[in-house]
Amino acid sequence: MKTVIYPGTFDPITNGHIDILKKASRVFDQVILSVAEDTGKSTLFSVDEREQICREAVRDIANVQVMKFSGLVVNFARKVNAIAMIRGLRAISDFEYELSQALMNEKLSDRFSTIFFVPDYKYLYLSSSMIKQVISLGGSINNLLPPGVEEALRKKLNL
């Protein structure tokens, strides 16, 4: 069985993430949406909240499982017997960052590869940070989040 991981902060998960997951789920036997506890970022939601929101968002994708992890992503990949990590690329700026991450991960584990997917054009500009900013300023985010995520965001932001 070919298992891959899709690690990230997912603070919150967006339809861009879901698009990448659906594409990967058609290629691999199992995709583990891996919610990072150690992000180096300040997150709005706790790791447990992000894990729960992600579980709800992917419940209709049969071969996607959600797991939180801490520490190095290559160690988590080894633990779940993943053959690779998938990542989404939106723009050239993503490529620079993602390439450096992929090269470091390969340095840490020479049997680990990164596979890139490009989201549908309607999600190329979308980021979790942008979503949080638009919602906090009262903007509309129709069709950009899985069901339930906007409600969780508004509740967390007291809107």
pLDDT in tens, 40-88: 889 999 999 999 999 999 999 999 999 999 999 999 999 999 999 999 9
Q: What is the pTM of this model?
A: 0.92
What confidence tens digit (pLDDT) does each residue in 77-121 have? 999 999 999 999 987 777 888 888 888 888 888 878 999 999 999
Domain with 94, as residue range(s), is 3-156
- The set of residues, in sequence order, having a beta carbon less than 8 Å from that of 44 and lying 6+ positions away, is 11, 12, 132, 153, 156, 157
Q: Domain count of the chain?
A: 1
Residues carrying an active site annotation = 17, 41, 90, 128
pLDDT of residue 107: 86
- Can you give the CATH number for the domain in which 104 is found? 3.40.50.620
Higher-pLDDT residue of 105 and 25 is 25
Distance between CA 68 and CA 113 in Å, rounded? 20
- The set of residues, in sequence order, having a beta carbon less than 8 Å from that of 146 and lying 6+ positions away, is 13, 14, 15, 18, 56, 57, 58
